[in-house]
Chains A and B, each alone.
Chain A
C-alpha cells in the first residue's frame, strides 16, 4: 500500500461527512434557545461563575470583631463635606492652565477635554434613596392591581444577575442583612441626615432621616468594572487626567445602573434602597462579606477577576428574597501582605507599607476589623481638592494593582491559581509583574489604540 496516497475510500468519506453533519445537528439542538425571561434567567449565563481556584468560605479573609464595629458617621468623611468638594481652587486652576500650556504628559489639553467631558455634578452620584422620581410612570403591581412577582431566593438572584449584567455591571453577589450587617450602615450621611431602622412597610426620607424598613433584609452587591485601558494611563511617578477619566466614566454608568435596578425591582413589586457609591455604607463592607472580593491593601475590594479595577462595589437593600453568596478566598489579601506596588507608587504616602492593623488613622476610618487603612489626610491633596498637588483625582494605587489583568494571555490564570493555592511565590510574582512591564502606561498611546466600547473587555467572567 502506498504511503503517499489517501487510503480513505469514497464510502468512508461520505460516512464521515454524514457523522459530521449529525454532530453539527446535535450541537445545534443542544444550543440554548430562550423563549422567555424565565428560561433566560435559569440559563448558565445567569449563574455566578467563579474561577475554579476561588474558594468559598464561611467568613471573609478580613478578621472582624463585630463587638468593636460601630456605625460610622459619614460626616467625618474626607470626601463628602460640601466645603471640601465641588469647587476649583486657585492652585488647581493655575496648574490646569500651566500644564495644558506645557503639554505635560497626562495633562494635555485633549486629556483635559476628555476628563471634563466626564466631569458632572457629584450630587448626581447619590442617586435616589427609594428610587427614581419617575416611579409614578412605572407599571408596578400596586398600580396595576396585580400580585407582585414571586420566585425562590435562588431564582431571584439569577434573575437579578441576568438583568444587572445586561444593565452593565460585571458581578452580582448578595447577603442577608442581619444584626451584624446593620452595623455597616452609616449612622449619618454627610448631609446630616441619619439612617434609621423602623418597622414600616415602605422606606422613606424626610428632613432629618432616611428610613430602612425592617422588611428590607437582603443586600444586593453589584460590582462595576471600569476601563483599565484608560485607567492604567498614568505614567509611573505621576498622576493623569486619563486615569481619572476612567473613574468618572464608571461613576456615570453606576448612577444610571442604580436607577435601572431600582426601577426593575419596583415593577416586580419590591423596594431597592440605594444611596450612590458614597452613601449608606462603606463600599468594601458588603462586597467583602458577600464574596465580591477580598479587602486589599488600599482598602479596595479586590475582585478575583478584575482586581482593583472595580469602581466601588455598589450596594442596595431590598425586600426581594435573595440567596446569599459566600465570602471568598482567592489568596488576594495574602498576596497584598507580600506585594506593595500600590504603596510604592503612592505619591502621598497614604497607602501604608506595613501590614494590616486594627488601629484607625483618624475619624475618617472605621474600626473593628483588621485591615490596611489609607491615611486620607495625606491622600486628599492628590485628589483635586483645595491646596492639592494635582488637578485631577490620583488613582495610581488602583492602576498598578497586580490583579488588574485581562484574560488573553494564559499566564494570568496560572499565576492567579498559584496565588490562590500558596503564598510562597507572591514576592516572585510581584517582581515579575514589574519586570514584564505591567502597570502604568503612556497616556499618549491611548489615543492611537484600537479599544473596545467603554474601554472594557465585557467578555471577562
Chain B
C-alpha cells in the first residue's frame, strides 16, 4: 500500500479498476443492451408480428401450459406488449423454471426458439451461472462503486476540468481526459445505476440483518419476504377444480390498473381448488417498479388482494430497483439509459487503456508492474472490450444462422456468444496488442455493419420492409447496428493509420501513440 490517503485511493482505483474492469465492461455492455431487451427479442423472432389482443394471447398461453405442464406447481405468462409481440411462458419443474416463446396469434411454439434479449439481462445480472454468477456480479458491482468513489477522491480538479478534453496533448493526457469526462459527466447515472444494481440483491449480499432479525432458516427468510411484499397465501388443498379462463383475469386487472398494460400473470398450483392468479402491472409513469398487482382466486374469480402495501424501506428498495430496470418514461428515457450505459462502458474501457498507456510511457520509472504483466494486461483489455462486443454480435448473427430445426437451438446461440469471446481471447493472446485491437475492432465493425444485410438475406423483416412499414422498433435495431458498425470500422481504420510501417518498430516505439493528433 501507499503512504498517503490519496495514494492509497489511487492504488485501489487502479488495481481494482483493472482486474474487475475486465468483467465490468461486459456487464455494462450487456446491461445497456438489456434496456432494449424486448425489442431485441422481437428482432430475434421476426416470425411473430403484432396481432392479437392481450386477453386472447393469455388464453392461448394458458392452453399451452395446460397441455404441456398441467402438473407444474407454478406458471407464469408474460403477454405481448407494444414493445414485443411474442408471449413467453414459464413453468416450474422441480426447482427449475422451464420456458418457451409462443407465437401470440396461435399459441404454438415459435420455430425460432431463442433466449432473445433476455440473454443480455441474464448475463448482466448473473453471467448465466446462477447464484455464483450473482455473487461475482455483486463483487464486481461493489468494486465499481468503490471505483467511482475513489475516482472522485483522486480527481483533484473535478470542477476545474469539468469540460476538459484535450485530444491533441499526448496519449496519457488524452486518455485521462476522456476517462474523466466520461466518468464525471455521467456520474449521476453511474452512481445510481451501480448503487441500485447492488440494492436489488441487497438481501443476498448483506444477509446479516435478515439473519439477525428473522433467523437463518428458509422459513425465516420467507417470513422476511412476506413482510417485504405482503400477499395473500393459499395452500393447495389437493382437490381438482377448473381454472377460469386466464384472459378474463388479465382484462379485469387492466381495469384495476387504470389501463396500464399487464406485465405478468402468474398462477400458483393451477388445477387446485385454491389456485391463485396474480396479475402485475407495467407502470410507465412512475419510477417505483410495479407495486401494482391484483390477486384472484383462480377458481371462483374472487379478488383476494388489490395492490401491495409496501413498508417504507421496501418502497425505497422498489424505487431503487425501478431506477435500475428503467421501465418508465418511454423511448426517450430508454435511449438515455442505453447511451448512458454505453458511455459507462466506454469510461471503463478508457480506464483499462489508460492503465497500459501510463505504464508504457514510463515503464522504467514505474516499478509496480513487470513488462510481462503489462503485455498480459494489454491483451486482456483487447479480449475484455473488443471480445465482449464480438460475442454480443456473434449471438445476434447466430440467431439468423443456426437452422430452425436444430435441437436446443437457443443453446447454440448462447454458445456462439461464448465461443466467439473465447476465440477473441485466443486471438488477443496471439497477436501483438495494437494489431489485436485493430483486427478485433474491425471484425466487430464489419459484423455490426453487415447485420442488416444478413437480416435481409434470412428474414422478411429487414430494413427494406420495416422502414416503409414505419416499424421503427425493428428498423431501429438494424440502424443502430449500422451506426455502431460504422463507428467501430472508422475507429479501426484510424488505429490502423497509426500502425508504424515496419512491424518491428511496434515493440520499441510503443503502439500507444495513436491518441496524439
A and B from one complex: no
